[in-house]
Structure 1
């Protein structure tokens, strides 16, 4: 049995889609479909029910999934162990972070990083969903939500402050009610799937009955909505320096979120991973006065 066939099987089993699996694996749909069929022939089982809406595991498929994940865990452990033994800062490092941390902190510092480490190719994955470092979805993660599971090395590198902001035009059209800075005004909020985000949790806790103008799944769209004059939003202070926004609720009445740098424990000794982690801590998190470094 070819381990690569199991990789294709796992991708389809987890996504239920040839299209998404091919995108994740960076191969064609036909390749994914062919490798799954080859695996089914090799073990003499039908692993999926093919349907126009997706691929669904059969009972045999669920049993094979359980064993395939055990094999995957052992292969990943081997790869992590080997990757962690490199002693030269060269190669590819995958960094998982949010879009705003990437565009406003990481990328502006990359010219200096490239000068120092020309042999390292940094691959940035932007998402609010926590990457699975144990499955090599990323080598390093820079997050405002601390991971709670996995064989990880977690380093607190700072914290960021938040405020409630509105555009100058919106606030002029919706003057505050005396003693109620949020009264009569609408919010741009996170969708339910992002309720774990610090800003979403604060709004739900402090203003559960606020009027909602727009629900989004990303911070850039929230900032764009504030810029368009749709309402108020909870935004990290360092992101509004170039915006004509007015602070409605100051950070001392809000909260701050810790910034965590996370690596898999088996990669902590890797020269290339350590170089990226140290550079992020040194040059990026402390690059703005609204971000404090520990």
Structure 2
């Protein structure tokens, strides 16, 4: 059996639709449909029940799912091991990180790195969600949350401190009530879909009765709102370069996150992944995020 057939089966099973599977596999929906039909014919059984709401696994499909995932784990381990044997710094490396780290830290430092390694191509996946390195969604990650499970090697590169900021004009129009700089002032925060993020949780605990004037799905939008004078926001200090923004609460009163480099253990010896990892470590060391690294190394 072709390993690629199992890829189609697994992606449809995980996403429940041809559309999601085609997006992940980067092929057309008709290709996914055809490959699933061919696999079912070859196995002599129906793997999915087709409904208007999507594709659902049949009993036979559920029986085979665990076995397909075991094959996938073995194939991915084989691919990771093989990639570590290549000595040249060339090929594709997928990096998972947040949008603000990508746009304000990684990308500005890329020109010199690209010039040094012209045969290497970097693909950046920007998301606030957890990316599975074991599934090859990415080869390495730069995160502010240390992963708690998986065959991963981690290294603390620095620290991202946070403060509460407001535009000086907004602060002048809305003086603090007493000793609490948040009292009586509106706030800008993450939307409900991102309420699990540390900044949203801290603000909800610290100022549960504050009037939320804007809830946004990106940090960029929140920074723009604070600059526009809509209210206060919990922002990473390294992103605030605007002299019109005033910090009303310092990191020791808010919170800080470690900046973690995460690599799947099977890829730690890969020349191209190591090159990107070293580049990220240098970029953090040269930035306002630099801090005392931990003892563990990738």
Matched residue, 1:289: 288
**Alpha-carbon deviations, 1:7-62, whole Å to 9, x = none?**
01111111112112111111111111111111111112222222222222222222
Structure 2 Cα separation of the partners of residues 176 and 62 of structure 1? 59
Question: Post-superposition shift, 1:3?
Answer: 1.6
Matched residue, 1:71: 71
Matched residue, 1:33: 33
Structure 2 Cα separation of the partners of residues 42 and 243 of structure 1? 66
- Give the structure-1-normalised TM-score: 0.93
- Give the structure-2-normalised TM-score: 0.92
Question: Post-superposition shift, 1:120?
Answer: 1.2
Matched residue, 1:103: 103
Q: 1:243 to 1:8 in 2, by over 3 A?
A: farther
CA contact (8 A) 1:93 1:123 kept: yes
Matched residue, 1:270: 270
Question: Post-superposition shift, 1:214?
Answer: 2.7
Structure 2 Cα separation of the partners of residues 144 and 177 of structure 1? 33
CA contact (8 A) 2:166 2:229 kept: yes
Corresponding residue SS for 1:123 = strand
**Alpha-carbon deviations, 1:242-283, whole Å to 9, x = none?**
47322121223222110000000011011111111011101x
CA contact (8 A) 1:286 1:293 kept: no
Structure 2 Cα separation of the partners of residues 5 and 40 of structure 1? 10
Question: Post-superposition shift, 1:193?
Answer: 4.4
Question: Post-superposition shift, 1:117?
Answer: 1.6
- Is the counterpart of residue 247 in structure 1 residue 233 in structure 2? no
**Alpha-carbon deviations, 1:122-141, whole Å to 9, x = none?**
11111111211111111110
Structure 2 Cα separation of the partners of residues 7 and 197 of structure 1? 32
Question: Post-superposition shift, 1:190?
Answer: 2.5
Q: How does 1:1-294 map to 2 (within 5 A)?
A: 1-242=1-242, 244-282=244-282, 284-294=283-293
**Alpha-carbon deviations, 1:186-218, whole Å to 9, x = none?**
222224443443222322333334332233332
Structure 2 Cα separation of the partners of residues 77 and 177 of structure 1? 58
CA contact (8 A) 1:159 1:257 kept: yes
Q: 1:44 to 1:103 in 2, by over 3 A?
A: same
Q: 1:147 to 1:192 in 2, by over 3 A?
A: farther
Question: Post-superposition shift, 1:175?
Answer: 2.5
Structure 1: where are the runs of 5+ without partners?
Answer: none
Matched residue count: 293
Question: Post-superposition shift, 1:239?
Answer: 0.6
CA contact (8 A) 2:8 2:36 kept: yes
CA contact (8 A) 1:285 1:293 kept: no
Runs of 4+ residues deviating >6 angstroms: none
Question: Post-superposition shift, 1:70?
Answer: 0.8
CA contact (8 A) 2:184 2:210 kept: no
Structure 2 Cα separation of the partners of residues 229 and 223 of structure 1? 10
Corresponding residue SS for 1:155 = strand
